[in-house]
Amino acid sequence: MATRILIVDDHPLTREALSSLLGAHGFDVAGEASDGAMAVVEAARLLPDLVLLDLPQIRAAAPDCEVVVLTASGTEANLLAAIRGGAAGYLLKTEPPERIARFLEGVANGEAALSGSIARRLLDEVRTGNERGTGVPDSIAAALSARELEVLLLLDDHLGTDEIAGRLFISEHTVRSHVKSLLRKLNVSSRREALERLAFARAA
């Protein structure tokens, strides 16, 4: 029997793309939701095996399902809160779609799912108890929208405008708009300066 999954994301195109991707990998997409309130209602109604979401609260509505957090931010506070809340996985939206599908297949078979940089952060926390910068520090995360954070992380992975558009299922024009907005919010004038500020915040 196919694993039944509920997809939760506030971007319709992202939900549509994930639904198509996961359907092609043998998942039964039981439903979709655009926010936390709808996710709770749909989880209680559908009782899926897995919930893929950008929000950490769902277990109370469907206690037997496995929750995988799909998010733009890898900040330590969010990560630890999600894991302590019972999440079976914590994935960054910058992961390639095919890799997300493989992670979810693993969760359906009882495995944990952690993006590589997230796993490294957990190891660092266990070893030293100190935060080490691989995601987006709170000082920057607080200034940007979720989509702008996604774009910033992909810029940090050295992706170009066309590659970011393909990864996020949005147009190149939309990517440029997000870049322009995040540059303004970070008070920098170029992509290079934005990445320098990110690196400086991680090292702080």
Domain boundaries, the chain: 4-125, 138-203
pLDDT at 28: 95
- Whether 127 shows a pLDDT value over 70: the answer reads no
- For residues 150 and 94, the answer to whether their CB atoms sit within 8 Å is yes
* Cα–Cα–Cα angle for 60, 150, 41, rounded to 5 degrees: 20
Q: What is the mean pLDDT of residues 141-146?
A: 80
pLDDT at 203: 79
pLDDT in tens, 64-119: 788 888 877 666 556 666 666 667 888 888 888 888 998 899 888 878 788 877 77
Q: What is the CATH number of domain 4-125?
A: 3.40.50.2300
Mean pLDDT of the chain: 81
pLDDT at 55: 55
Which pair of tokens denotes residue 46?
């559908």
pLDDT at 57: 52
Q: What is the mean pLDDT of residues 138-164?
A: 84
pLDDT at 46: 93
**Model pTM score:** 0.49
- Whether 4 shows a pLDDT value over 90: the answer reads yes
Q: Which CATH architecture has domain 138-203?
A: Orthogonal Bundle (1.10)
pLDDT at 113: 84
Cα–Cα distance, 122 to 61 (Å, whole number):
28
Least Cα distance to 26 among 52, 53, 47, 5 occurs for 5
Which pair of tokens denotes residue 36?
């936390």
Higher pLDDT, 124 or 33: 33
Least Cα distance to 168 among 95, 99, 76, 67 occurs for 95
Cβ atoms within 10 Å of 4's Cβ, excluding its own: 17
Cα–Cα distance, 26 to 158 (Å, whole number):
32
**Residue 195 confidence class, pLDDT cut points 50, 70, 90:** very high
Residue found by looking up tokens 């939760």 in the block: 8
